[in-house]
Structure 1
């Protein structure tokens, strides 16, 4: 029984301290007044209760500060000019030696983005065995296809398609591994 009285007295002290914090310093007469109805109506808790009463279908979506209950991060504002890679090849590719490697990247943005290809962090330039084909699709889309023909063991690595315009950059990566051709595998099994 004494434990219950002790807990009740602690709760009462906490309520008095909280009320004092809400009201401010005690008046000269020494009596403490609880917050008025006007102060209660101005509080964020009252606004939360009022909002949930007016919009019951959104009851669980609001907190006292107006943030969503799920997750602590807010969404970034939408940027209509942002570059986005809309389509790309699969992340991992196993290729056969002597065959063709093909990667595709389609990006959209305003202004139309440019696409650059990298291998292991180094920019790739066209040569006899490496070709890049590019297409403009409408005002805001750009398609790029990278081909390596014939594929060699030196073509193993991490390739990146980097799309950029004045406002932003988007990147997709592709990892390659090679397998020997069937003729080589059969020759190795016999010998």
Structure 2
């Protein structure tokens, strides 16, 4: 496999409110491990805003997804934590730039439910409006989230909104021809 054209990545912990917000630790052969908070403006095939807390994260975004907005915050201002065997995930963000200034989310999945395999992407599934496609498999748990999100103009409270915890996600990233 040509590393310049194809990449294999693993994502864990990974929790999200589908189509809105994602907390994801990306394990990349090319850029190492990096934590992200992703804000989806419309769909995942369009550019997004990605908050990162490391030089690895900033380089990952510049190299792979320059079409999207990358906002680097200090390491202590973006944290993702997983507990209870991956069935509880928390994310914390504080930023003085971007649409989101503060976010805290606590995701919970039931103890008694097994993950469901979910195949995603494909050869034409563009990631964040970039020149890369992604296909893979998620092991998903139905979850709910509590927390709050503060922008410059408003604060939104989350109270039991439907969410997804991904016990693990494997992705094959390929450059578009």
TM tier, smaller:
under 0.3
TM-score (normalizing by structure 2): 0.25
Which has a greater percent of helix?
1
TM-score (normalizing by structure 1): 0.24
If asked which structure has higher relative contact order (CA below 8 Å, sep 6+), I would say: 2
Larger-gyration structure (1/2) = 1
Which has a greater percent of strand?
2
